[in-house]
Structure 1
Amino acid sequence: MSTESCYHCGEPNDHRQLFSAIVLGESRQFCCPGCLAVAEAIVDNGLEDYYQFRTEPAAKGATTPESSLDKLALYDEPALQEEFVYDEGKHKQIEFTLEGITCAACGWLIEKQLSKVSGIKKIAVNVAQRRAVVTWEPDTLSLSQIMASLQRIGYPALPFQPDQHEATYKAEDKQFLKKLGLAGLMTMQVMMLAAALYFDLLDAMDAQTVSYFHWIALVLTTPVVFYSGSTFYLGALKALAARSVNMDVPVTIAVFATYFSGTWATISNGGDVFFESICMFIFLLLLSRFLEHRSRHRAAQISANMLQYIPVTANKLNADGTLVQSLAKALKINDTVVVKAGETVPVDGIIVDGSSEFDESMLTGEFNPSRKTVGDTIFGGTNNLSNSVTIHVTQTLKHALVNQIIRLQSVAMASKPKVAQLADRFSSLFVSLVLFIAALTFVYWYWQDDPRAFWITISVLVATCPCALGLATPTALTCAMATLNKKGILLKRADALEQLASITTIVMDKTGTLTEGRFAITESWFADNEQKDTIMHVMASLESRSEHPIAAAFSADDLAPVTNVTITAGKGIEGDIHGQCYKAGSARFTACDKLEIPIIANVYLVSNDKCLAAFRVTDQIKSDAEDVLSAFSNFKKVLLSGDIQQNVDDIAAQLHIDEAIGGNSPEDKLNVVHARQAANEHILMMGDGINDAPVLAAADVSVAVGNATDIARSAADVIFLNEKLTLMRHLLSMASRVKRVIRQNMAWAIGYNLMVLPFAVSGILTPWMAVIGMSLSSIIVVTNSTKLLK
C-alpha cells in the first residue's frame, strides 16, 4: 500500500492533514481520523496480523464528514479564539459545552479517551454542567483536532458560551420531555393490555385474543424501545467503541433481550412477553434521568449563569465628548465609559469622575451598597444605584472579574476529588462484575431447567445498574458549590471541600486577614527631631510606591519623586529620593534588628546604613474575628506574621490564638508550614498579601480573604469575595455537610446494590420490581444532594 493511499481502506490520502500510526513496525499513513481510529484499535488489541494476511483493503472507517472538518477548522482562527481561548504561556485552555452526556460514566469515558491524544495536558469533565475544561499544547495540537476527537467518540463540542449552553440545555430538555411523554403514554396503554391478560378481564380469553393483545402491545412498545430508550443505547455504544463499559451497557442488554424475546414469542405464538416491564423500565429510568437533569441544571444555574448580569451594550465616551452605544465585549482597555444611575457596569474599570453607591451582591453575597469614588475599582455586573460615574476600562469583558469567577468555578467543578475518582473507577468495575454475575446466574438457572432463567438474569441486570453510585459525588459537589457561590465563596478546585474535612490546624496571616488593614502610627522615634518633618515627607513619598497596607499610615500632600524603586515582598521597599537611597521596612530588612531604641518598633527608615527613624504601626482587629475564631475550638490556631512579636502577641491574646510567631519573612512562613506538614498536621492557610502567596500555594487548603491581592487569589484554593471572616464558618460547615451527604449517598448506592443482588439472583425480584427499585435509588441520591442547596 503506497503512502499516497490510505493504509487501511486504500482511498487517497489528504495531504493537507496527514494521519499516521505505527503498524507492523512501520509508520503508516491514513486518509482520515476514522481509519486512524480503527487501525489504532486493531493494534491496541493485538490484532496486527490482520494487515499482514488481508487480501483486500478494509471498508473506510467512520469519520467526520469533510464539510464538518472544514467547519471545525474555522475555530483555529486566532481572531475567533480570542473570545473563548485563554492563553496560559506554553499551554492554552478552553471550556467546551458537550452534547450527549447522560451520566458520570460519560465523563469518565471522555477523559479516558482524550487523555490519550498527544498534546492534551489535562482534560476535566463536569458532568453536572455538561462542560469540559481542556488544556493543550498549541504547538502540538490544534483546537479543531480536539473538537474532531470529541466528535469522533460521540460527544460533539462547542466553545462554551452562556446563551448557546442554555439553548443546548433547553433542546435536551425538550428531547427528554418528548421521549418521556411517549414512554409514559405507551406504558399506560400496554399496562392496560397486560392487566387484561393477567386478570383475564374478558373472561376466559381465547388464544386468538391473547395473540391479538400481544401484537398490539408489540406495536405500542416498539417506539418506546427504539425512540425513548435510544439515550441508553447511544451511551452503551460510545463506551463499547472505546473498549469500556458503563451503566448503559447492562440497561441496553436488558431492554433488547426482553424486547426481542417478547417479539419472538409474539411471532411464534408461544412463550412469555413482558412488554409492560420494558415500557415501565424505560419510562422510570428516563424519569430518574430527567429529574437528575433538572436538579443539576437548577444547582448549576446559580454559578454558571453569572454573565446574565453583564449588559450587552455600554455608553462609550469618545474623545470629542460624545456618547455612543457600543457592544460590551468590544470595549478595550483605556476606553472611557459612562455608567448612569440604575445601569449595570459593563466591564471592570476605575472611576475617573463622579461617585456613587454600587450593589456588589452578585459578587460578594453582601447586599449592603458599597460607596465608590474617584480612584476606586468597580466590577462588571455590579449595579450603579445612585449617581452617574465615568470609568476608565481596565479589563476587557473576557478578563473581567465575573468572567474569571465563572472560569475558575468551571475548572473547580471539573476537577474531581479522590472520592469521585474512586466512585468512577468502582462504577466501571461494578458494571463488569454485574455482567459476570448475570452470566453466571443465567447458566445456573438454565442448568436447573428453570423456565425463568432468562427473566431472572434480566432482573439482575436491571436491579444492580449502578446509576446512583455515579451520581453520589457529582450531585453533592454541584449543590454545595452553588450554595457557597451565593454566600460569596468561590472554590477554585472541588477537592478542596474534601480536604477541608481533614484539616487539623488553621494558620493565619495577621495584617488584612484578621485585622482591618487600616494602620495608624502609635509610636515614633527620630534620630534627629529637628528633621522630623523632612523624614516624614521622605517616608510618605517612599511608602506611596508600596501596595502594603502599612503604607497607608504614612501620607503627605506633596510627595517627592521616587526612582529606582525595589519592593521586597514581606520585607520592605527601597528607592532614591533627591539622589539619595532610602530603605523602609522591617528590622531585618533595614539591618536595624540589633539597634537599641526606646520604643518597640516594626517599621524603620534608613539611609547610608544609618537609621533615621523608627515607628510602631498597629492595626485594628476585624469586628467578627473573635466570634469566628472562638467557634474553631476543634482546630489548633497559629498566627504567622511579618510584624514584630509584640504586636503579634497582642493580637493572639485578644483572639485566644494557641500559638503566635512574629517577624516572619515569606520563606519563614513557608518553612513553618512545611515543618508542620512533616509532623502530619493538615494545614488550612488564610492570607491576603503578596508575601502570603508561597505559603498559600503550599498549604493543604488555602483561603484568600476578600481584600486579597491578585497574586494571593491566584495561589489560593478558596477565595472570599467579601472581607467578612464569618464566611470561614460557612465554608467549614459546608465541607462537613458535603462529606456527610457524599457518605450517605455512597452508602445508599452501594448498600442498595448489595442488598438487592441476592433477591435478584434468587429469582424473588421480578423485572418490574427491579425497575422501580433502581429508579428510586437514583432519585433518592439526587434528592439527598439537593439538601445542600438550603
Structure 2
Amino acid sequence: MDTLTANAFDAEPSHHQNATKPYVKTKGNRRELMLAVSGAKCGGCLAKIEKNLRELEGIDTVRMNLTTGRLVVDWTDPQFDSDRVVTTLDGLGYPAKPFDPDQIDSSRAKRERSLLAAMAVAGFAAANIMLLSVSVWAGAGEMSDETRTLMHWVSGAIALPVIAFSGRPFFTSAWSALRTGNVNMDVPISLAVLLSAGFSVFETINHGEHSYFDAAVMLLFFLLIGRFLEARLQRQAHKAADDLAALQAVTVSRRNSDGTLETVASRDLSLGDTLIIAKGERLPVDVTLVSESADINTSLVTGESLPIAAHAGERLYAGTVNLARPIEVSVAATSDDSLIGEISKLLDVGEQKRSKYRQIADKAAELYVPVVHTLAALAFIGWFIGTGELRPAIFTAISVLVITCPCALALAAPVVQIVAAGRLYQNNAFLKSGDALERIAACDHIIFDKTGTLTELTPVVETTDESRDTLNLAAQLARGSRHPVSRALVQAACPGPMADQIEEHKGLGLSGEIEGRAARLGNWEWVSHSEQDPPENAHLWFWIDGEPPAPLRLSEALKPGGHALMDFLNANNISAEICSGDHPDRVKKIADQLGMENWSGGVTPIDKAQRVEELAAQGKRVLMIGDGLNDAGALASAHAALAPGGALDAARTASDCVYSSPDLSAIGKVLKIAKSAQGRIKENFGLAVIYNMIAVPIALAGLVTPLIAAIAMSGSSIVVTVNALRVNKGKLS
C-alpha cells in the first residue's frame, strides 16, 4: 500500500511549489522511494548522485537509471526521513520529482521539440548573420567605419535575442553545475558564447574592426545539432522495468465466494483467489491449476518450444498462455512475488549496470573542460603580461574558447549514431539507445536463446514417404482445432477434407470419425489405451480403427541464415553458446546443426542471468539475444542485447536493438554496422584532436579572426559529418 509522506517538496516551496508529493512504497519493514531526477547526463553524474546518497545514514540501497532518469532508494530504518533524499539531490544540482513514466516520456518529447526549435532559430540566424559578415569581410579596406559598425549593429540585433533563446539549454545546465561548485562541458560553451557576444557588443560600441556575433550563433547551431540528435536517440530508449510493470497491470476474472465473476486488476489479487482464465489468455501471476487439466504454452516463460499438458495441482507461472478451454486456477503468488516480479528485479539491476557505462564522449568531455579553461586562462594571462593591455588579452582568450569549440566533439558520436541507425533501419533493425552501438561493438561472446530466436515458434512435422498417409489422415482431425500443433499438422499435410464429429479432449487430444471409422490424435496413453511405454519416442500419435497407433514426430525449424551468421562470428573471433529453458535434447539438436560446442538446456530465467554474470566475471562482454519473458533478466544484465521483432514486450524493451528480419544473418549485419560505427566514432574524435592541435597554436598566437573561427568551426563539423557517412551498410559478403 502506498503511503503519502511529508517531504522536502513542502520544505522548499520556492523550488517545488508546484510539484506533486512523492510516494513512499511500504513492503513489510522495507520502504522504497522512486524519483525522477533531472539533469543527470553522464556516468560522472550517476556516480556523484549514488555516492552522496549512500553516505546518508539509514539508506540501504541506491539504484539510478541514467536512461530513464529513475532513482530508487530503499531503507529499513523507520527513523529515516525521505525528505533528506530530495534535499541532497537539490544540493547537488539535480532536482527531483515523483517518478511517472508517462510524464517522463512527455518531458523528453517536450525537450526534443524545444531543442529542435532552438536549433532552427539558431540556424536561420546564423545564415543571415553570415551574409552580413561576408559583406564586411569582402569590403575590408573599402567599407567605411560607419557602414561596418552598422553591419555589426544589425548582426547584434539578430544575434543577441537568438543567443538568449537558443542558448538556454547550455546556460541552464552550466548554471546548475556552477551553483553546486562543479563544472561540466556546458560551462566553457556558455563562456565562449557569452564572452564572444559581450566582446562583440563592446567592439561595436567602440567601432572595432571585428565582432564575434556570427561565431557565437554558429557555435550554438552546431552544438544544438548534436544535442538534438542525442535527445532523439535518448527518447527512443525504452524502459524495460516499466513496460514489464505494464505487463502485470492487466485485468482478470476472479470468482467470488457467492459464485459470481468479478473483473479485477492483477495487482489487487490475494493468495488463494480463484481465477477463470479464458482460451488465449495469459496468466498475470503465478497460480496453481485447479481444473483437471490444461493445454498451455510456456515458450515465452520457460523456453519450452512445444505446447504441453498440465494437470491439477501443478504450478503455472505468470506469462503462460492457456491454449484450450477456460480453466480454473488459484493464485499462488502476488505480482511482486511471482516470476514476473523476480524478472522485474533482474531488469532493474541490469538497467542500473548499463547506466554506469561511460561512452567515449563522456570520457572526452572530462578532459576537454579543464584543458580548454586552462588554455583560455593562460592565453589571457600571457597576453596581458606581454602587452600590458586588457583588450588583446580578452580577444585572445575568447578566440581560444571559440576556436576550440566542441562542435566536432559534440557531433562526433551523435552524427555517427544517426547514420548507423539509418543503416540498421535499411537492414530491418531498430536502434533503441545512444550508447548501444558502442556496447554491441565491444561484445566478444554471444548467448542465444533457442525457441523463437534461433528456431521458428511453430513446430514442424517430420515426414517420410511411409508417414505421409498417416499425416494426411491425422490432418483431417487437426482441421477441427486451432491448437498450434494441429495447425502444424494441417500445414504439413496435403489438402483434404475434415473429419466428422470432431471433439477436443482437454489435455489429451482430438477424436472423430474418418470415413465412418473412429480416429484419435493425441498422446500415447490416450490414443493406445495402454499403460505400457510407447514402442518409440514420438511427440504425437494417431490411431484409426483397424490400424495400430502410428507415431508423428515434431521438430523445430532452424531460422534461415544461421550458418551464414556462424561463419561471420567465427571470422570475427566471437564465441557463442545456446542457453535455453527447453529440453536438453532439443537444444543439443539445434547446437549440432549450427556447430556450437557450448549449450545448456532446462535453465531458468535466473540461471540465464547468472550465466551472463559468470561470463562477465571472466572478462567476457556478453551480447544476449532472446525473445521471451525468461530472457528479459539476462537481456538487461548483458553488456548489450538484441531481440527479434516478434519478441515479448519485456524482452524487446530490455534490449538495445530490435531486428525484424526472419533471417538470422540480420544479427551479423547489426554487429558489422555497430563495429563500423565504433570505428567512425573513434576516427571522429581523432579528427577533433588533430583540429585542435592545429587551431590552438593559431589562437594562442592571436591570429584568429572571426572569419578564421567561422571557417574552422564549419570545417571541423563538416569533416566529422562526412566521415560518419562511411559507416558500413551491413553486407556480410
**TM-score under structure 2 normalisation?**
0.59
**In the alignment, which of 75, 92, 95 is matched to residue 22 of structure 2?**
75
Q: Which residue of 1 aligns with 2:698?
A: 762
- Does structure 2 retain, via aligned residues, the 8 Å contact 1:463–1:756? no
Distance 1:179 1:716 in 2: 37
Matched, 1:280 2:195: no
> Deviation at 1:185?
4.6
CA gap of 1:400–1:473, structure 2 versus 1, over 3 A, is farther
Report Cα offsets for 1:111-152 as digits up to 9, x if no partner: 5655655536444442xx342444544438554432332233
Within 5 Å, give how 1:624-703 maps onto structure 2: 624=558, 628=562, 632=566, 634=570, 688-689=603-604, 697-700=613-616, 701=622
Report Cα offsets for 1:176-195 as digits up to 9, x if no partner: 24433443454455444434
**In the alignment, which of 742, 745, 752 is matched to residue 678 of structure 2?**
742
Q: Which residue of 2 aligns with 1:179?
A: 118
Distance 2:339 2:419 in 1: 26
Q: Which residue of 2 aligns with 1:459?
A: 402
> Deviation at 1:636?
7.3
> Deviation at 1:474?
9.3
Figure out how many residues of one structure are paired with residues of the other and give that number: 594
- Does structure 1 retain, via aligned residues, the 8 Å contact 2:43–2:357? no
Q: Which residue of 1 aligns with 2:480?
A: none
Distance 2:121 2:211 in 1: 21
- Does structure 1 retain, via aligned residues, the 8 Å contact 2:170–2:186? yes
CA gap of 1:653–1:442, structure 2 versus 1, over 3 A, is closer
Q: Which residue of 1 aligns with 2:237?
A: 300
> Deviation at 1:748?
1.6
Report Cα offsets for 1:554-592 as digits up to 9, x if no partner: 9999xxxxxxxxxxxxxxxxxxxxxxxxxxxxxxxxxxx
Task: Indicate the SS of the match to 1:97.
Answer: strand
CA gap of 1:142–1:620, structure 2 versus 1, over 3 A, is farther
CA gap of 1:197–1:305, structure 2 versus 1, over 3 A, is farther
Report Cα offsets for 1:260-291 as digits up to 9, x if no partner: 11121233333522212212221232233112
CA gap of 1:439–1:381, structure 2 versus 1, over 3 A, is farther
Distance 2:117 2:456 in 1: 58
> Deviation at 1:495?
11
- Does structure 1 retain, via aligned residues, the 8 Å contact 2:279–2:326? yes
Distance 1:743 1:377 in 2: 48
- Does structure 1 retain, via aligned residues, the 8 Å contact 2:250–2:284? no
Instruction: Give the partner amino acid of 2:444.
Output: S
Distance 1:392 1:484 in 2: 46
Within 5 Å, give how 1:40-439 maps onto structure 2: 65-66=12-13, 74-75=21-22, 77-78=24-25, 94=34, 96-101=35-40, 107=46, 110=49, 114=53, 117=56, 119=59, 121-126=61-66, 129-134=67-72, 136-139=74-77, 142-199=81-138, 206-297=144-235, 299-301=236-238, 306=243, 314=251, 316-319=253-256, 320=258, 322=260, 326=264, 330=268, 334=273, 336=275, 347-348=284-285, 411-416=349-354, 420=358, 424-439=362-377
CA gap of 1:654–1:467, structure 2 versus 1, over 3 A, is closer
CA gap of 1:410–1:325, structure 2 versus 1, over 3 A, is same
Distance 2:360 2:558 in 1: 39
> Deviation at 1:743?
3.7
Instruction: Give the partner amino acid of 2:22.
Output: Y
Task: Indicate the SS of the match to 1:420.
Answer: coil
Report Cα offsets for 1:354-410 as digits up to 9, x if no partner: 99999999x79x9x998999989686799x999988776667667787887777556
Task: Indicate the SS of the match to 1:699.
Answer: helix
Instruction: Give the partner amino acid of 1:237.
Output: W
> Deviation at 1:745?
1.2
Distance 1:335 1:155 in 2: 47
CA gap of 1:219–1:355, structure 2 versus 1, over 3 A, is farther
- Does structure 2 retain, via aligned residues, the 8 Å contact 1:438–1:457? yes
Q: Which residue of 2 aligns with 1:3?
A: none
CA gap of 1:715–1:779, structure 2 versus 1, over 3 A, is closer
Distance 2:177 2:222 in 1: 23
- Does structure 1 retain, via aligned residues, the 8 Å contact 2:423–2:729? no
Instruction: Give the partner amino acid of 1:699.
Output: L
> Deviation at 1:172?
1.6
> Deviation at 1:654?
5.4
Report Cα offsets for 1:418-449 as digits up to 9, x if no partner: 97367534431232123223444555667776
- Does structure 2 retain, via aligned residues, the 8 Å contact 1:355–1:387? no
Structure 1: segments with no counterpart, 5+ residues:
1-15, 19-31, 34-62, 519-552, 558-618, 661-683
Task: Indicate the SS of the match to 2:686.
Answer: helix
Q: CA RMSD in A?
A: 6.7
Distance 1:312 1:405 in 2: 15
> Deviation at 1:210?
4.0
Q: Which residue of 2 aligns with 1:46?
A: none
Distance 1:285 1:215 in 2: 25
Distance 2:274 2:426 in 1: 36
Identity level (%): 19
CA gap of 1:395–1:222, structure 2 versus 1, over 3 A, is farther
Instruction: Give the partner amino acid of 1:300.
Output: A
Instruction: Give the partner amino acid of 1:461.
Output: T
**TM-score under structure 1 normalisation?**
0.55
CA gap of 1:136–1:496, structure 2 versus 1, over 3 A, is farther
> Deviation at 1:498?
6.1
Instruction: Give the partner amino acid of 1:767.
Output: A
Which range moves more in the overlay, 160-169 or 686-695?
A: 686-695
